Chains A and B, each alone.
Chain A
Amino acid sequence: MSVITYRQALRDTLRAEMVRDENVLVMGEEIGVFEGSYKITEGLLKEFGPRRVKDTPIAEEGFVGSAIGAAMLGLRPVVELMTINFSLIAIDQIINHAAKIYGMFGGQTSVPMVIRTPGGGGQQLGATHSQNIELFYSFIPGLKVLAPSTPAEASEMLRAAIRDDDPVLFLENLGLYNSKGEVADDYAEPSNDNVATIGRAKVTREGSDITLIGYSRMAMVANQVAEKLAEEDIDVEVVDLRSLRPLDRQTFVDSVRKTGAAVICEDDWLTYGIGAEIAASIQEGAFDYLDAPVRRVAMAEVPMPYAKPLETAALPSVESISTAIKETLSAVGKRVG
């Protein structure tokens, strides 16, 4: 085992997959000469050359669509969108084309491509650069949406995404790039076939008092919350969704059936957000087991402000999630630390 950053896990896995499969190429803005806005593609142009590392013009619809077309002919493009906010420029190609081509033509041609893109918030980037709109893609049958929260998961899930024959939206997070975690010693080997299962959630911490559900950066925060509350003798079980589509309802419903209570933490807006789907699934799958209403902790419903105190206040935090957990537990008469 070695400890590396989430960024390094992505970079090295991407490289390994390029070594392994000649059909894998990377495309995006500033990924070659500039080596990536967040340096995920560092060194790749030097190693693989401009044929396989394609700097694109600022034309998201054009280059995402080109990647789809190339995938239709059997290449396996990995596209980088500088942030998920820019995916809006390419949304017609992602939703109307990548997601539809396999089904709309009766299963004749698959679209084996990956769109890597970070969500964010908390970086003082203002309203247009701080959104978490993975919901848009998670809503669409035909797409797969992955949201790893640790370096090991990032590596195994990126490998899975590249080898999968369907279009995968691979959600990263600005707040995770520098986070560290353990990975297997051979994580960067092209021969590594340790591939995550798409469509599975995971209990990342066992507990008995309440279930806390999150994904991407919020799954990391959820574990921090659980650790903190453990000091107050509150035993939190954490579920990392990992895959937003397909959604593994059984895993979190089983957890809620065990604990009897649930809080969902999400970096997107509450109304119609991912958490709404989770809460609806819990009421259907664990209605008789619930001792309290399901609570959601989500961003304040405003365009994200630039000023630091406002931005911080708008985002879910360890504190706000802890409060929601304690309120939920006290509502049902469970002990609160």
Chain B
Amino acid sequence: MADTAKPKGRTARSSGTRRRGRKDTSPGIANEKPETLLDYYRQMMFVRRFEERTAQAYTQARIGGYCHLNLGEEATVVGLMTALQERDYLFTNYRDHGYAIGKGMDPKRVMAELYGRVDGVSKGWGGSMHMYDTATRMLGGYGIVGGQLPLATGAALAISYRGGDEVVMCQMGDGTTNIGAWHESLNIAKLWNLPIVFVVVNNFTGMGTTVEMSSAEPDLYKRGAAFRIEGERVDGRDVLAVRDTASRLIERAREEQTPFLLEAWSYRMKGHSVVDPAKYRTDEQKTEARSEENDPIVLFGAKLSEEGILTDELRDEIAASVKAEVAEAAEFAENSPQPEVSTLFDYTYATPVPNESTRMPADPVFAE
């Protein structure tokens, strides 16, 4: 089991001995098509700019509720979503914007969902934490820590029941590995030989609580051992490493009909959510989380530049087109209508039955 750097011991510190995380853990970049690499770069850049625009819209009160961003996790998001096939299913936690886009949702509709408008992927019923789209098989976006694990396990059960060849990916944060649903789901997934890959995105901090404060076994990829689930750790700042490791586990899950566990570590650049100034972090930790040497886009961009794949001209071109597309998404969201109050009772039940309540707050129970 390859232990690909970072974690071990304390989280987020900046000693000079920790540089080995920077080594290139992905197979030769030379074997990749330049257009593929540029596409990854662009996708990562897109998530970055989309999330920055989201934060801006949030502070302008265009977006409400809780709002958790993928800033710093772009290589993990793009690597994982690239590894997943179109027919595969995805379940994630509430930090889901990048995944929604990566799985194929139209960014305009993701932004419209953030704005709570009718063109949103969930018609404005879900918001930031609840991106969902049956067409692209992104089956949510869940706001309760660990809530998506049993669901994803059940989706894999349905695939297995029908003898299908799809795989389920279930993404979560590091804090999730301590909740009951984790243990119950991993146990069931292995017991019933289900085609699912559990992915722990380890940013070393569940809100403000570090992995060491919350996990008796802080090497999270080892925590499938109790269920005989093979686990691997990957440098989540490295888009190619994430893609390759995830692909391998996804295809093994598909062929061997058994679950796997993947831990991808990277830094959460900002607070837990847009409104969190992360005061619990030391200056040292903040510097580390935001340093260019841990920024997956800077790292990948530099690598592509070194190889002569990403020229200054291309960089500017990509920056401009990403900027334009994000602006277009925001404009689309802005112009999308607010939902009509008359639709308030449209989605309580799928099968209509007598006596469903359609009472407004001050209505009498018996309106005669």
| A66 engages B157 (CB within 8 Å) | yes
Docked CA distance A166–B126 (Å) = 19
| B132 engages A61 (CB within 8 Å) | no
Chain A CB within 8 A of B364 CB:
yes
| A199 engages B354 (CB within 8 Å) | yes
Question: Of A97, A109, A199, A250, which contacts B147 at CB under 8 A?
Answer: A97
Chain B residues with CB below 8 A from A112, complex form? 350
Closest to A54 in B: B192
Docked CA distance A108–B105 (Å) = 14
Chain A residues with CB below 8 A from B141, complex form? 105
Q: Count of chain B residues with Cβ under 8 Å from any Cβ of A? A: 53
Digitize B128-142: 1 where CB-to-A-CB distance is under 8 Å, 0 elsewhere: 001011100001111
Docked CA distance A243–B139 (Å) = 30
Chain A residues with CB below 8 A from B124, complex form? 106
Docked CA distance A75–B184 (Å) = 21
In the complex, the number of residue pairs spanning A and B with C-beta atoms less than 8 Å apart equals 181
Interface residues in B309-368 by Cβ distance below 8 A to A read 346-351, 353-357, 364-366
Interface residues in A59-83 by Cβ distance below 8 A to B read 59, 61-75
Given A65-B149, A69-B151, A70-B157, verify A106-B184 contact (CB < 8 Å).
no
The smallest C-beta distance from B99 to any residue of chain A, in angstroms, reads 15
Given A64-B150, A67-B154, A166-B349, verify A106-B134 contact (CB < 8 Å).
no
Chain B residues with CB below 8 A from A63, complex form? 150, 184, 188
Chain A CB within 8 A of B187 CB:
yes
| A69 engages B158 (CB within 8 Å) | yes
Closest to B192 in A: A54
| B155 engages A72 (CB within 8 Å) | yes
Q: Please list the residues of chain B having a beta carbon within 8 angstroms of any beta carbon in chain A.
A: 89, 91, 120-126, 130, 132-134, 139-142, 144, 147, 149-159, 161, 180-181, 184-185, 187-188, 191-192, 346-351, 353-357, 364-366
Given A72-B139, A103-B348, A105-B140, verify A66-B125 contact (CB < 8 Å).
no
Question: Of A97, A246, A253, which contacts B357 at CB under 8 A?
Answer: A246
Question: Of A72, A166, A197, which contacts B154 at CB under 8 A?
Answer: A72
| A62 engages B366 (CB within 8 Å) | no
The smallest C-beta distance from B19 to any residue of chain A, in angstroms, reads 41
Chain A residues with CB below 8 A from B134, complex form? 108-109
Centre residue among B153, B192, B353, B354 by max chain A CB count within 10 A: B353
Chain A residues with CB below 8 A from B191, complex form? 57
Digitize A187-199: 1 where CB-to-B-CB distance is under 8 Å, 0 elsewhere: 0000000000111
| A249 engages B349 (CB within 8 Å) | no
Question: Of B91, B147, B356, B366, which contacts A96 at CB under 8 A?
Answer: B147
Closest to A107 in B: B347
The smallest C-beta distance from B157 to any residue of chain A, in angstroms, reads 5
| A106 engages B123 (CB within 8 Å) | yes
The smallest C-beta distance from A276 to any residue of chain B, in angstroms, reads 14
The smallest C-beta distance from B177 to any residue of chain A, in angstroms, reads 15
Closest to B113 in A: A106
| B351 engages A69 (CB within 8 Å) | no
| A73 engages B159 (CB within 8 Å) | yes
Chain A residues with CB below 8 A from B188, complex form? 56-57, 59, 62-63, 66
Interface residues in A213-234 by Cβ distance below 8 A to B read none
Which 7 interchain pairs have the tightest Cβ spacing?
A65-B150, A69-B154, A62-B184, A106-B123, A110-B350, A66-B154, A73-B158
Chain B CB within 8 A of A102 CB:
yes
